[in-house]
Amino acid sequence: MKINHLGVLTGGGDCPGLNSVIRAVTKTAILKYGMEVIGFIDGFRGLVENNYIQLDLRRVSGIGHTGGTILGTTNRDNPFNFMTMVKGIEQASDQSDRAVSNMRNLGLDGLIVIGGDGSLNIAYKFYQKGVKIVGVPKTIDNDLSATDVTFGFNTAVNTASEALDKLHTTAESHHRVMILEVMGRYAGWIALHAGMSGSADVILIPEIPYNLDAIVAKIAQRFRQGKKFSIIVVAEGAHAAGGEMVVHSLIPESHDPIRLGGIGQKVAQEVEDKLNHIETRVTVLGHLQRGGGPIPYDRILATRYGVAAVEAFMEGKYGTMVSLQGKEITTVDLQEAIKEIRLVPPDSNIVDTARAIGISFGDS
């Protein structure tokens, strides 16, 4: 089947590198294959409401280095559970057939979905309804199991590392414990990489439940050695052994309704209670990790993904996700890509490396 007309959308949280993918998809489709490309506005909402723009070479010019997404995005509008107002009351209904009808009426031959596990789960459901789909792995959390790296992750790590560089000077000046809370949901990749890069003393991640006494012992040991400050990096999903993750809020209409947050403040209070002679301060990076332009690594990776997504369509590889495997970009079944999230193995080489240079994970 000849592919003449592609659609593309960005779903879920924003991420550095989205515009690089959009640019690569559009330029490859037009310049190499003479296709038409349209972009749906605000993710799957645009698909349901038939809200889109024509993507041409002029519209994607100069966007590869910019953050955010020119198409807009949302993590709440699932077409299979779409919230609409009925007689003044918000109700959920399945609008997926409406979305499929819109694509057919537009003459689309396929759809490229740029997203994390939530958006790609939705994409797979559309594939099961007969839509030709190719996914592109996007998340700062780096928690998609079927690819070595997701674009946006390294930029988020860079942002967190820069924050740690700044926290070091104020921590040392005031002899404080400084805690940096970072994103990552249920995976500790950002905290682990940023903590190692930023010379943290303690790194707390969901995969290794912490013991407060071990954290306090590490800080006390540093004081005995004449080091009157400590840096702790906490992943938002970190939790004490036998304890629960700290939930900031619930968004019922979202694919992933749990919003984590607050563990940094919890650890800070516990540390201060144990070591009342040491001041403890918390910095929560939050959405700063999603903002700004992508670093060169992510610009290149996102571009490679965008080109590979178009090539996958031309090769008839529908129902797949483009994936980085070693040095090569390949494709994997979309069903395999969303089967499970990728967590930090507690016995991995990178964790062992961190332990070897004296970083504590709060477990011993």
Alpha carbons 334 and 346: distance in angstroms, whole number:
27
Summarize pLDDT for 7-25 with one digit per residue, the tens: 999 999 899 999 999 999 9
pLDDT at residue 320 in the model: 97
pLDDT digits (tens, 9 = 90+) for 315-343: 999 999 999 999 999 999 999 999 999 99
**Run of H or E residues at 247:** strand 247-250
Task: For strands 320-325 and 328-333, give the pairing.
Answer: antiparallel
Q: Which residues of 341-360 are buried (b: 16+ CB within 10 A; e: fewer)?
A: bbbbeeeeeebeebeeeebb
When the pLDDT of each residue in the chain is averaged and rounded to a whole number, the result is 94
pLDDT score, position 162: 96
Comparing 248 with 222, the larger pLDDT belongs to 222
Segment among 175-189, 212-226, 254-268 with least mean pLDDT: 254-268
Burial label for 232, CB within 10 Å (0-12, 13-18, 19+), is: buried
Q: What pLDDT shows up at residue 247?
A: 86
Give exposure, 31-65, as e/b (b: 16+ Cβ within 10 Å).
Answer: eeeebbbbbbbbbbbbbbbeebeebeeebbeebbe
Residues of each domain in the chain carrying CATH 3.40.50.460: 155-291+345-356
DSSP-assigned beta bridge partners for residue 91: 84
Q: For the domain made up of 5-151+292-337, give the CATH fold.
A: Rossmann fold (3.40.50)
Instruction: State the Cα–Cα distance between residues 9 and 48, nearest whole angstrom.
Output: 12
Q: How confident is the model at residue 285 (pLDDT cuts 50, 70, 90)?
A: very high
Has residue 106 got a pLDDT over 90?
yes
Whether 141 is a known active-site residue: answer: yes
Report residue 183's pLDDT band, with 50, 70 and 90 as the boundaries.
very high
Question: What pLDDT sits at residue 235?
Answer: 97
In this model, does residue 91 exceed pLDDT 90?
A: no
CB 39 within 8 A of CB 53: yes
Q: Each residue of 15-61: pLDDT tens digit?
A: 999 999 999 999 999 999 999 999 999 999 999 999 999 999 999 99
Considering only CA atoms, which of 145, 148, 124 is closest in space to residue 135? 124
pLDDT at position 19 is 98
The pair of structure tokens assigned to 286 is 């939050």
Catalytic residue among 117, 141, 143, 298: 141
* Tokens (6 digits) for 98: 């409406």
Residues 155-291+345-356: name the CATH superfamily: Phosphofructokinase domain (3.40.50.460)
The residue-averaged pLDDT of 129-154 equals 96
- Is the dihedral angle over the CA atoms 68, 340, 180, 253 positive or is it negative? positive
DSSP 8-class letter at 144: B
Q: Indicate the DSSP class of residue 293.
A: P
Q: How many Å apart are CA 7 and CA 194, to the nearest integer?
A: 35
* Predicted local distance difference test score (pLDDT) of residue 257: 73
Cα dihedral across residues 30, 32, 35, 41: positive or negative:
negative
Stretch (H or E) spanning 36: strand 36-40
Q: Is the pLDDT score of 191 beyond 90?
A: yes
Residue 255 has pLDDT above 70, yes or no: no
Residues of the chain with CATH 3.40.50.450: 5-151+292-337
Residue 115's contacts (CB-CB under 8 Å, 6 or more residues apart) are: 10, 11, 12, 43, 122, 123, 135, 136, 138, 139
Return the pLDDT at 1.
64
